[in-house]
Structure 1
C-alpha cells in the first residue's frame, strides 16, 4: 500500500508541474515550502539593513563563546601566521632588490599609526576583523619625511562601524554615496566618508565636531572584504552563517549546566500535615519559612502532616554528547574551520580523515589569502611603499621613471605550513624536484621563504664553516664523515694443529 501511495504522490507532482507555470519543485509553494519565503533584496540592501546587528552579535560571540572565538583566531593564525612577506619579481638587479627589501623590513617596525604592532601585526588584525565583521578598512596616512626614520607613511586600521551603513546621499556633480562609499557616474569608488571618531566610543571632551564625517579619497583607503556577489560593496561577517546555531548551543549549554547544578543539590521536600521532624524550635509559628534554601543537602518544609520526597531531576540520557557533536559539526561547516581546530578534540577521526580536512582547510585559506588579503592589502601597500621610497630619495631604482611597474610586481609569501607527515612529505618534495615537477624556488616559496635568501644563507654558512680550524661536515655537503677506525685483527695462532680446519689462504703466484 505504501508503494502505491508513493507512486500516486509522484504522479500528482508531475501533473502539478506540467499543468502549472513552475517547472521546479524547489520554487513551489506547497506544504513543505510554504514558510520558505526569503527576501529578494539585493545583497547591498540586505547588508545595510542587517549589517550592524550581525557585527554586534558576532563581536559578542567572539568575546563570550569559546567555539566562535577560537574559530576566528584560528582563521587569522592560518591566514597570516607570522606575516605575509613580499618577494619582488624583477630580475638581474640583485643589489637593488636587497636594498629595497632591507628598507621595507625597517619600515615594517614603524608601519602602525597607533604604534602597537608592526606591519605583520596589522595583517593579523585585518584578517581577524575581515573574518569577524566581514570587512576592514586600512587608511594610508602620509607623514613628513622627518617624522619617521624610514619611508614616510603609516597604516591606520578602521573598523566597519567607522563607515556608516545608513549614510546614502546624492552629491553635486553627479557623484553619489551608498553605505558610506562615494561613487562617480562610472560606478568607480571615489572616496569614503568615515566618522571622525568611533560612533559608540568615548570622544574627546569639548569636541564640537565629534559627529562629523571625514571624506577620505579612495586612493588612501584599502577596503579588505570578501565580495561574494557581483556589485557587492560591503562585507558580510563569516560568522553570520552559524550565528544562530552558536547562540542556541550557548543557551542549551547554560540550561544543561543549571540542570546539573540543581540535580547536584540533592534536595528533599516535606509534604503533608504533621509535626516537622526537622524543627528545632517548638515555639515557632506553623507558617515558618523553609529551614534551608536550595543548597546541597537542603530539606524544604512544605507544611504540617509532612512526608518526605527526594527530588529526581530528569536526565538527558546519552543524547547530550551526540547532540553537541552534530551541532558543532554544523557550526564548523558554517564557519569554514575544521572541527578539530575549533574544539581541540582530536579523538573524532583517524589520521587520514584529519589530514584530508587540514588540506581542504589550507586550500580555502590560500584562496582567501590570494584573492582577498594579498590583492586588497599587501599589493597596494607594496606599491605605496615603493612609490614613497623613491619620492623620498631613500632608494634608487634604475629605470623607475620610465616603467615603475617592474618594481611594483611582487609575490607575497604566505606563512609556511608545517608538514603533516614530515618523513613522507619531505621525501615526496625531493622526488618532485628531482623529477622536474617543481623547482627549488617554488618548493622553498611554499614554505614561506625566498630561494635566493636561502641560497645566500647556505653560502655564508659554508664559507664560515670552511674557515674554522676544525671543519664542520654535514650530510648535506655531499661528503661522508670520516669512517670510524676498524677493530684490530685477532692475534695469529702459530700452532699448525689449530689451523687444520682453516680454509687455505690465497698464495700469490711465484715469479
Structure 2
C-alpha cells in the first residue's frame, strides 16, 4: 500500500492507488524474426533436431539408406544412370599420377610405380588396375555413401613389382557396434569410438573396426571385427557436416521422389493396359446356348469350365442372357510428359547431375544452354575430385606407393605423387581450341594449365613436344603444327622475322 504524500494530507485526500507495474512485453516468439522458426500448423511437419551428423546417421539409418539406394540402383533406370554418370565423369578412365622428386619427374620411380599400378597386380583380387579400382570406389561412394580401401602388404616372394596391393570394400565392413568411450590406460586418457571408427583422446583417427567378411555375404564366415590401423585404411566419403564420420548415400534426398515417380509410371501403365484389354461383351437370347469360355461341347453333353476371370488385350467376353457387365472408363493420360520432366529435373537437381546427363533427353538443349549446364556440372565434379576423392583416395594410394618404394630399398627423399584428373570433352573444339590459343598468346593461360584442363600431365606433355620437335628437326620436316617454323596465318616464321627486321630498319632511317 502506498503512503499519503504531503499534498494528500493537506487536502485530506486518501493515498492514490498505485498504478500497476507495466508488465514486460510478451515476446512475440520466433515468428517475429524468422518465419522458418515458427511452430504453427504450417510448420508442424518439420523435424527439428539439434543432434550432430553422427547422431542423425545412426547405424540403423545408414543401413536403411544403403539398402534403399542399392535397390534403386538395381531396379530404377534413372538411379542407375545417375550413379553411373557421376562416377564416369568424376573418375572416367582414371585419375592418373606422376612421381616427382624435388619438383621434377623421377623417371625411374615413375616407371616402377606404373609397372605395378597400371596393371592388375595392384588389385588384391587381380581384376582391376588402379583406374578400375577408382571407378569402382566412385560408384560405391555415390550409391552407399562411402567406400573403404585397405592396404595389403605382400611378401617379396609374391613376385610383385611393389610389395603392396589395394582392397576396395563396401562401408558395411565397418562394425557399428563398436561405439562409446574407451577406458583410460595408465598414464593415458582413454579415447572414443564412433560407430566403428576409433579416435585418440585428441580426436585423431587411430583405426577402424572392420569385419573379417561382409556382414551380408552368402558364405558362412566369422563376423568378428578387428582394429585395423588408420594408416592402412582409407575411408572415403563426402563430409557434408563438420565432425561427420560416416557418409550417407547421395540418393538420400531423392529416394521418396523416385519412388513416387516410379509408382506414377506403374499406375499409368496399368491404367492403359486395363483400358485396352477389353474389346467388348457379347450377349445373346438363347438360354440353352453354349457360352464360349464357360462351356464346351464334348461328345453328347457339356462340361463346365471356370468362368473367364482374367483379361488380356483383345479379349471378347461372352455373358449369359440377362447379365450385364459395366466397364470403367479410365481417364486419358494428360500431362504425362510435363510431369515426367518436372519430376526428373527435381531428381537430377537432388543428385547434383544435369537433367540431360540423367535422362539423355537433349530435345530442349542448344549450344549455349548445353555449355552453361556442363560448366556448372564441371564445377561440381572438380569440387568432388579435389576436395574428396583425390585427397582421401588418391592421397592414400600415393603415400602407400612411396612406402612400398622405400620398402624395396629406393631413396624416397623429396618424393611426392601428383594426380591429374581426366580432361573434359570439348563441346565445340574449333572454338575452344582457338580461345585457348588466344589466351595462351595473350598471357592469360599457360601451356601447362591447358594441358591439365585436357587431363594431361604438363611435364609429360612438354617433354613429348620437345622430343617431337627434335625429331622433326632431325628429319628436316616442317609441319603447320610447328609454331617455330610456321606462323598462325601459315607463313614461314623466318620470312615474317625478316620482314619485321626490314620494317624496323626503315623506321630507324
Q: TM-score, length-normalised on structure 2?
A: 0.81
How far apart are 1:271 and its partner, in Å?
7.4
Native 8 Å contact 1:272 1:307 kept in 2: no
SS of the residue corresponding to residue 223 of structure 2 reads coil
Moved more, 172-181 or 432-441: 172-181
CA distance in 1, matches of 2:288, 2:310: 16
> What residue in structure 1 maps to residue 113 of structure 2?
104
Match of 1:380 among 390, 396, 403: 396
Q: Tell me the alpha carbon deviations over residues 443-466 of structure 1, each in whole angstroms, 9 at most, x when there is no partner.
A: 111211122222332333344445
Native 8 Å contact 1:266 1:298 kept in 2: yes
Find out whether 1:456 has 2:432 as its counterpart: no
Flag the 1:273–1:331 CA change in 2: closer, same or farther, 3 A: farther
Flag the 1:263–1:458 CA change in 2: closer, same or farther, 3 A: same
How far apart are 1:363 and its partner, in Å?
0.5
Match of 2:61 among 40, 50, 57: 50
Find out whether 1:168 has 2:173 as its counterpart: no
Native 8 Å contact 2:98 2:418 kept in 1: yes
CA distance in 1, matches of 2:279, 2:146: 52
Write out aligned runs for 1:324-473 (5 A): 324-393=340-409, 395-397=410-412, 400=413, 406-408=414-416, 410-466=417-473, 472-473=477-478
Flag the 1:203–1:194 CA change in 2: closer, same or farther, 3 A: same
How far apart are 1:355 and its partner, in Å?
1.1
Native 8 Å contact 1:168 1:176 kept in 2: yes
Flag the 1:43–1:457 CA change in 2: closer, same or farther, 3 A: same
> What residue in structure 1 maps to residue 169 of structure 2?
158
> What residue in structure 2 maps to residue 240 of structure 1?
252
CA distance in 2, matches of 1:19, 1:269: 69
Native 8 Å contact 1:271 1:309 kept in 2: no
| Structure 2 stretches lacking a partner, 5+ long | 1-24, 493-509
Native 8 Å contact 2:30 2:37 kept in 1: no
SS of the residue corresponding to residue 130 of structure 1 reads helix
Flag the 1:39–1:302 CA change in 2: closer, same or farther, 3 A: farther
Native 8 Å contact 1:79 1:365 kept in 2: yes
SS of the residue corresponding to residue 113 of structure 2 reads helix
Flag the 1:90–1:250 CA change in 2: closer, same or farther, 3 A: same
SS of the residue corresponding to residue 269 of structure 2 reads helix
CA distance in 2, matches of 1:233, 1:482: 62
Flag the 1:43–1:278 CA change in 2: closer, same or farther, 3 A: farther
SS of the residue corresponding to residue 461 of structure 1 reads helix
How far apart are 1:144 and its partner, in Å?
1.6
> What residue in structure 1 maps to residue 502 of structure 2?
none
CA distance in 1, matches of 2:44, 2:283: 51
> What residue in structure 1 maps to residue 315 of structure 2?
298
Native 8 Å contact 1:111 1:155 kept in 2: yes
Native 8 Å contact 1:270 1:308 kept in 2: no
Q: Tell me the alpha carbon deviations over residues 158-196 of structure 1, each in whole angstroms, 9 at most, x when there is no partner.
A: 211111334314433313222111112112111111111
CA RMSD of aligned residues (A): 2.8
How far apart are 1:55 and its partner, in Å?
0.3
Q: Tell me the alpha carbon deviations over residues 111-168 of structure 1, each in whole angstroms, 9 at most, x when there is no partner.
A: 1111110111111111111111111111111112232431211111121111133431
Find out whether 1:70 has 2:110 as its counterpart: no
Moved more, 84-93 or 226-235: 84-93
CA distance in 2, matches of 1:92, 1:264: 72
Q: Which runs of at least 4 in structure 1 moved beyond 6 Å after TM superposition? A: 271-274, 282-288
SS of the residue corresponding to residue 125 of structure 1 reads helix
Native 8 Å contact 1:89 1:411 kept in 2: yes
Moved more, 322-331 or 300-309: 300-309
> What residue in structure 2 maps to residue 133 of structure 1?
144
CA distance in 1, matches of 2:288, 2:355: 55
Q: Tell me the alpha carbon deviations over residues 327-381 of structure 1, each in whole angstroms, 9 at most, x when there is no partner.
A: 0000000000000001011102222112111110010010010000001111221
Flag the 1:51–1:308 CA change in 2: closer, same or farther, 3 A: closer
> What residue in structure 2 maps to residue 474 of structure 1?
479
Native 8 Å contact 2:90 2:381 kept in 1: yes
Aligned residues: 450
Flag the 1:137–1:308 CA change in 2: closer, same or farther, 3 A: closer
Flag the 1:289–1:303 CA change in 2: closer, same or farther, 3 A: farther
Flag the 1:308–1:159 CA change in 2: closer, same or farther, 3 A: closer
Q: TM-score, length-normalised on structure 1?
A: 0.81
Match of 1:217 among 229, 234, 247: 229
Native 8 Å contact 1:265 1:295 kept in 2: yes
